[in-house]
Structure 1
C-alpha cells in the first residue's frame, strides 16, 4: 500500500510514507462505498479491553465479556517524517487467540486516555478469529 500511495502522489518519497489508521464509528453494514484512498477492514475483536464507540477510544473491558467487536478500521498511508503520537497504543493483530510469531499480522494504533503502558500490561490485542 505504501508503494501504491507513493506512486499516486508525485513528490512523495517511499521512506517518508507511513501506514496510519483510524477507527470509524460505523459498522460494516453502514459502509456503502470504498474509501478514496486506503482500505477498510472489519471483523477484528479486542481481547483484554473494551471499546468506547462514542469517544473512539479504548476502555476497560466489561465484566464477563471476553471479546469486544471493533468497528470498521480505515487504514491509509500518510507522508510524514514526524514521530507518532506517544498517547496512541500500538495494538498487535493476531490471526488466532494463540499469540505467537506465526499468527502475528501487524499492529495498528488505538486512541486511549490512559498511558499505553496500561494496555501493554493488560495484554490487549486484536484478534481476527476468536475460536
Structure 2
C-alpha cells in the first residue's frame, strides 16, 4: 500500500490507496461450502459458532472500509461531496494511520495503515481457511477479532464432552518445545502468534528469562491450553503473565472489570520470583505495533 508518486497531490495519493484497498479486499468474508456442510443451528459446535460470530464482526469492519474507500475515490473525482468523515479518512490515508471511522469498528491495533491492512487481510484469510477446511491444528490467536469468545468455546467443548459445569473449569498452560506442530491435542487447543514484551521464553530451560540485549519483543512458542477443573490446576510457583491484544496497557473497562485490551492471565514457569517480572511489566501480546 504505497502513498503514490512523489509528485502526486495528497488527494491523488489517497485515491491510489483507496483503489488498492478495494482491489485487495475480498468480496465476501466466507466463500465456498463449509467443511461442516448444511447443519442445523442446534447441532453446531461451539467452535463453528465462533467462526460465524467472527465473520459477522469482520463483515461490519470490511463494510466500513469498503464504503469509505469508495467515498474517498468519489470525492477526489468530484462525483460526490467531500464530507468531514470522508475528509478524515482521506487525510489518515495520506498520513499512513488508521482512519477513525475504521478504528470505531475495528479490533485494537497500534499498527500504521499499511501494516494494519495487511494484518486485516491475513485475518480474513485465516477465517476463510478455517471455514473451508475445518479447524486448524494450531489456532492463530492473533487472528481473532474477539479472542475471548474462542477461549470460552474451547472450554465449552470440554465441558460438553465430560458434562462438567463450565464455571468449574480453567486453563492450564503448557508452552511447547517446538514451533512446528502437526497434530491437534487430545484435549484443549494449541494457540500461536504471541510475543513477549520485556522478557523472553527460554527454550532450553523452559521458563521466563531475561531478554537478550536490544531485543524488545520475543516471539513466543505455541501454547497448549488445557481445560481442567480448577481444583486440578497445578499450584507450583508461576508468573501470572497478562496477555494483551496490543502493547497499549490502557482500554475501556468491560463488564468483566478488565480492559478491553486484556485477554487473560497465562501461568508460566519462572526461575525468578513473580514480582521480578511484575515490576518489569512483562506481558504477552497478540500483535506488534509495526
Q: State how 1:92-107 maps to structure 2 within 5 Å.
A: 92-100=242-250, 101-107=259-265
**1:25 aligned to 2:190?**
no
Give the distance between the partners of 1:85 and 1:60, measured in 2 at CA: 23
- Which of 216, 228, 235 is equivalent to 1:85? 235
Bigger share in helix: 2
After superposition, the C-alpha distances for 1:85-124 in whole angstroms (9 at most, x for unaligned) are 2510111111111112221111111100111111100100
Could you tell me which residue of structure 2 aligns to residue 117 of structure 1? Answer: 275
1:1-131 aligned within 5 A:
1-10=154-163, 12-27=164-179, 30-81=180-231, 84-85=234-235, 87-100=237-250, 101-131=259-289
The RMSD of aligned alpha carbons is 1.7
**What are the ranges of 5 or more consecutive residues in structure 2 without an aligned counterpart?**
1-153, 251-258
The verdict on how the C-alpha distance between 1:14 and 1:102 changes in structure 2, with shifts beyond 3 A counting, is closer
Cα offset for 1:15? 4.1
CA contact (8 A) 2:237 2:269 kept: yes
* Stretches of structure 1 lacking an aligned partner (at least 5 in a row): none
Distance 1:51 1:21, change over 3 A: same
Please report the TM-score for the alignment, with normalisation by the length of structure 2. 0.42
Highest relative contact order (Cα 8 Å, sep 6+), 1 or 2? 1
Distance 1:82 1:73 in 2: 19
- Could you tell me the TM-score, scaled by structure 1's length? 0.88
Structure with bigger gyration radius: 2
